[in-house]
Every structure is written in structure tokens, then in C-alpha cells.
Amino acid sequence: MKVMKFGGTSVGTPERMKHVAQLISDGEQNIVVLSAMSGTTNTLIEIADYLYKKNPEGANETINALESKYRTHVANLLSTPEMKQKTLDFIREEFNYLRSFTKGIFTMFEEKIIVGQGEILSTNMVTNYLQEQGANVCMLPALDYMRTDKNGEPDLEYIRLKLTDLLAANPGHQIYITQGFICRNAYGEVDNLQRGGSDYTASLIGAAVDASEIQIWTDIDGMHNNDPRIVDHTSPIAHLHFEEAAELGYFGAKILHPTCIQPAKYAGIPVKLLNTMDPSAPGTVISNETEAGKIKAVAAKDNITAINITSSRMLLAYGFLRKVFEIFETYKTSIDMICTSEVGVSVTIDNKAHLAAIVNELKKFGMVRIDEDMCIICVVGDLCWQNVGFESAATEALRDIPVRMISYGGSDHNISFLVSASDKNRALQSLSDHLFKD
């Protein structure tokens, strides 16, 4: 059994939904996770916002406009009068449910219900379309099995048990459709896995049913080895280790959030990033396999500030770093890169909200210097320390670029360089030219 997840743009129009229906009817047994049609979750959040602001007219108008869009979608998606009517009735019921929230009190609890309706709508439409096409399809309501624990973390044991039961109670179907994003919390209330959470849903289901693979379908052909908006000649990466994907996710490759693939990683299930516009393209496979010695990608993180603290008191002293880090902790500011010498330490942050206060406190410990408008450039691959040559290949590429910090050794998969934001494009291009020549 494999898991196939389609994001908002992949189900964004009736035509795209029909295309998705084709892709999932591949003769294999699939659990299909769908997002809301693109734009819908944002509109639902807008509706909730009107209700928070005690403006039921604003909410009602937005609901009406959204409903009329969905009625048109249904008319374009389905062809038999019976299935059209059945789906329109469902849409009517759903939107009446939304309207019911404009009357009573409005809290976070109601908001959670509202923002989750997009997935209920899209899954219902695709299921009905598949039924109309004669597919052997079954709906698995996410609210019946997807659950978080008291810490707000997915409760994998619960999910595994419930989903196994649900599949056993509905055996023999070719396609199982379910909602991404939505879940219940530890108290059984409707909740969600945060914006973009459908990827998380797919990964959790994959781990729960021990799927053969998890496919994440978007409209790009996998992760690229550099930023295609900036660099000429980037190409999709055929294969990434989970750790490499996590590094890239953090450093700006927006395609997959690192926490979303965690369950798949622990369960050792490969995650494939595929393109609905070009379904036969190989895409990117993320797994626990390493390609020895290979540099995979370059990524950048913008809006970085470097802070340098030098103090002769650090010389041969212990406890100095703790004092420095405690200041960042007090101001809830996370540190990205660190470099130390015997008399100083440089760190980078991407959240400047408390910069002045942090600097003020750091001055108790030494001389403080700030460099703003910086950019972290990271090179990702199998960079195990016994491998030779990758450090020189990367630094050779940056030979003409002033480098403020270099960090290696935090993981076997990343070497990071801090450069001026104004040198970012040049650095990315040069790294691509040197590292991915062939």
C-alpha cells in the first residue's frame, strides 16, 4: 500500500481534480491524502477572522462567495445528474454548517472547525467523482483516526490502532481517500496539524500503515540542487538522505517542512516528491540511504544577523558560552550558526526582534560587534569528515567572495558559509558552477 498526497494547487480546479483521479487510479492500493482546494483555507481563515471581529455580515458574504465558487466547481467536475445533486446537497449542508457559526459565540474551538472544512469539501468532491467513474473508492474520515496527544504532538500509536481498525472495517477497496491537515486533539476536539499540515498527515499515515512509499505530489519536479529563481542550470535532485532533506528544508528549500518527514524517516519509508504536471519525471526520492561522498545541493537563508563577542575572559575559561547562550534563551531567540575561537564566539540569528536587548546584555561579557544583512549559504550532501575534498571544493567556489563565518562539523551533511546578502547570488551561482558541473 502506498500513500499519495496532493496539495492545494493539485486539486485547485475541477480539471486538476480529474487529473488527480487518473494518477491515483494506477491499479495499486493507495491511501490518498488531499489538501483543500488552493485558496480555500485562506478564505476560511478570513471567515473566522470576521467572526472574531464580531462581523457576521462580513463572514456571511465571504461564505456566500465561497459557496458559489464550489457550486460551479461541482457543476464542472461531475456529469451525472444524480452525482451532481448528491454533491451539491453535500456542499449546501457544509456551507449551512459554516453559516451556523455566524450566530453563536465564537472561540478558538469554532475556528478550528471552520478552517478544517476545506479538506472535507475537496475529499468529498474527489470521492464522488471517482465513484461516478466507477472506481472502487472508500472515504476514511481523518477525524476518526488522526489525533494529537496532550503536548499537541501526533499520537502515532493511537493513529496506528485506529487506522488499522478503520481499514479492517472497510476492506478490499482500491483507493482510500482521506483529509490532510485536520485531526482531533487529546480531548477529542477538532484541531489541525498547522498550515501546510497535509504533508504531515501523509507522513503519519505512511508510518502508521507501514506503507511501501509516501508520494508528495506538487507542481514542481522535486527538490532542486540550487535556487532556480537565482541560479542558471539547476536540476532536480534524484536522491536525498532524510538528514539532507531536513537541512535543505531548514535552509530555505520550501518544498517540505523537516518535521513533516520525521515519521517517515523513523519508520524508514521513502518519501517521493513528484510533479502532477509531469507525472513520469523521476522527481526526488528521500530515504535513509546515503550516496557516498556526493554533494547534493546548495541552499540559502536570508535576513541573517551575525553577532560577535570577543573577550580575553573567554581564554581558558569555562562557563562563558553558557552565559552567552542564556541571554539568547531569555529573549527566545534561536541561534543558527556558531563559530568559536579561543577568545571569541560568533553566532547568527534570523530574528532581530530583541537584538538591541541581547546586545545590551552581551556587552557585560565582552566586545560586541554586529554584521547585518547577511545570508547563510549551505552546501548539503554526504560530508562525513573522513571524506576528503568537499571543503576545498566549496571554498574554491567562494574564492572571490568575502566569507564572514564558516561552520562544519555540526552534522555530516552540511557545511555553512555566512556571506553578505549582496554576495548571495554570486555565491550560489559559483557553487553551482563548481559543484554540479556535469
Chain contacts with Mg ion (rule: CB under 5 A)? 7-8, 196
Lay out the sheet containing 403-408: strands in order across: 335-341, 344-349, 295-310, 367-381, 414-420, 403-408
Residue 181 engages ligand ASP in binding (rule: CB under 6 A):
yes
CB of 197 to Mg ion, least distance (A): 8
CB of 189 to ligand ASP, least distance (A): 18
| Alpha-carbon distances of 145 from 90, 273, 402, rounded to whole Å | 22, 25, 53
Contact indicator for 219, 416 with CB cutoff of 8 Å: no
14's contact among ligand ASP, Mg ion, none, with CB below 5 to 8 A by partner kind, is none
| DSSP 8-class letter at 207 | H
The interface region with ligand ASP, picked from 189-197, 252-260, 267-275, 347-355 by CB under 6 A, is 189-197
Residue 197 engages ligand ASP in binding (rule: CB under 6 A):
yes
User: In DSSP terms, which residues pair with 347 in a beta bridge?
Assistant: 307, 338
Q: Nearest 5°: phi and psi at 232?
A: -75, 150
Q: Nearest 5°: phi and psi at 108?
A: -60, -30
Can you tell me which of 180, 206, 263, 381 binds ligand ASP, judged by CB under 6 A? 180
Output 181 or 436, the one with its CB closest to Mg ion. 181
Output 8 or 381, the one with its CB closest to Mg ion. 8
Gap between the Cα atoms of 178 and 155, Å rounded: 18
Where helices occur in 303-423 by DSSP H, the ranges are 320-330, 355-362, 390-397
92's contact among Mg ion, ligand ASP, none, with CB below 5 to 8 A by partner kind, is none
181's contact among ligand ASP, Mg ion, none, with CB below 5 to 8 A by partner kind, is ligand ASP
Residue 179 engages ligand ASP in binding (rule: CB under 6 A):
no
Spell out the residues 6+ positions from residue 89 whose beta carbon is closer than 8 angstroms to its own: none
Number of residues in contact with ligand ASP under rule CB under 6 A: 12
Gap between the Cα atoms of 105 and 108, Å rounded: 10
Residue 70 engages ligand ASP in binding (rule: CB under 6 A):
no
CB of 170 to ligand ASP, least distance (A): 24
Residue 196 engages ligand ASP in binding (rule: CB under 6 A):
yes
CB of 7 to Mg ion, least distance (A): 4
Spell out the residues 6+ positions from residue 165 whose beta carbon is closer than 8 angstroms to its own: none
Spell out the residues 6+ positions from residue 15 whose beta carbon is closer than 8 angstroms to its own: 76
Can you tell me which of 36, 113, 231, 358 binds ligand ASP, judged by CB under 6 A? 36
Residue with smallest beta-carbon separation from Mg ion = 7
Residue 190 engages ligand ASP in binding (rule: CB under 6 A):
no
Residue 58 engages ligand ASP in binding (rule: CB under 6 A):
no
No. of helices (H) and no. of strands (E), the chain: 14, 16
CB of 112 to Mg ion, least distance (A): 18
Grid cell digits, residue 348: 547568527
CB of 195 to ligand ASP, least distance (A): 4
Contact positions with ligand ASP (CB under 6 A) in 85-124: 118
List of residues contacting ligand ASP (CB under 6 A): 7-8, 35-36, 41, 118, 180-181, 195-198
